[in-house]
Amino acid sequence: MSDAESPIPGATVARLVDYLAVLTRLADAGVSKVSSNELAEAAGANPAQLRKDLSHLGSYGTRGVGYDVSYLQIQLDQHLGAGLDLPVVIVGVGNLGRALVNHTGFSSRGFKVVGLVDADPALTGEQVEGLTIVGDAGLETLIARTGATIAVITTPAEVAQQVTDRLVASGIIGILNFAPTALSVPSNVTVRKVDLGSELQILAYHCRVPGSKDSLLSAWNEQSNELAGADPL
């Protein structure tokens, strides 16, 4: 079903991306068929959910058999709009920014970093992975020249909003925000936030609580309680 204009649930999209990654790996490994069980396990999902997810795009499997790996891969590619080599600019060339320039996960999924911007004059002109870092003032020109529509922000939180405003004014419509601050943008612009500190903190919370009693993490709490002013929980 579902050939109308993509009403794909947001949560499903996130998983489709994972399925696609697994399919690509399987195809490279020469595997030609998968069942929903196998694919779901490899992607860390459950089979019923995978089938439900796929049912939002169409019926690409064969009952009693499974899915043809490369066929399903192509279908997901199309639905997700992958394989385009979309140009991306990175604003903020600190440690994280530099790590992302080299990140293989970007290129392997159809993105190409085409520009780097950093406000620090000491960095202007420096070469990173074949790209020349552009100064603050060059942001607008860079975007116009490269035709980038997606930007990654890895600046300090304090300047993230101003950078955002200039990106949006320059035609950027998608922002991946690593700065630990909320960004306000017009409704036609999409922001996705990734806060690495938050991720760790959320993880730590889930370690503390769900393990029925206190989970092993409380071992550390007790250990550090010797000279702790506050008590946990």
Partner DNA sequence: TGCTGTGAAACGGTTCACAGCC
Partner DNA sequence: GGCTGTGAACCGTTTCACAGCA
Does the annotation place 46 within a ligand binding site? no
Contact 135, 124 (CB under 8 A): yes
The reply to whether 190 sits near DNA by the rule CB under 7 A is: no
Tokens of 118: 């950093």
The number of CA neighbours under 13 Å toward the Cβ of 39 is 33
Contacting residue, 21, 27, 123, 159, with a copy of itself by CB under 8 A: 21
Q: Which of residues 128-167 bind a copy of itself (CB under 8 A)?
A: 145-150, 152
In angstroms, rounded to a whole number, what is the distance separating the alpha carbons of residues 172 and 150? 6
In angstroms, rounded to a whole number, what is the distance separating the alpha carbons of residues 107 and 138? 24
The size of the interface with DNA (CB under 7 A), counted in residues, is: 26
Residue with Cβ nearer DNA (54 or 88): 54
The reply to whether 193 sits near DNA by the rule CB under 7 A is: no
Does the annotation place 30 within a ligand binding site? no
Contacting residue, 39, 114, 119, 163, with a copy of itself by CB under 8 A: 114
The reply to whether 122 sits near DNA by the rule CB under 7 A is: no
Q: Which of residues 48-87 bind DNA (CB under 7 A)?
A: 48-49, 51-52, 54-55, 59-67
Q: Which stretch binds DNA (CB under 7 A): 9-17, 20-28, 118-126, 217-225?
A: 9-17
Q: Give the torsion sign (CA, 30, 36, 41, 43).
A: positive
Tell me whether strands 86-91 and 150-153 are parallel, antiparallel or unpaired.
Answer: parallel
The reply to whether 27 sits near a copy of itself by the rule CB under 8 A is: no
SS3 call for 114: strand
- Minimum distance, C-beta of residue 10 to DNA, in the bound complex (Å): 4
Helix ranges (H only) for 123-195 are: 139-146, 157-169
Output phi, psi for 191, to 5 deg.
-120, 135
**Closest Cα to residue 69, out of 8, 37, 28, 15?**
28
- Minimum distance, C-beta of residue 33 to a copy of itself, in the bound complex (Å): 20
Residues in the site for DNA, rule: CB under 7 A? 1, 9-12, 34-37, 46-49, 51-52, 54-55, 59-67
Residues of each annotated binding site for NAD(+): 92-97
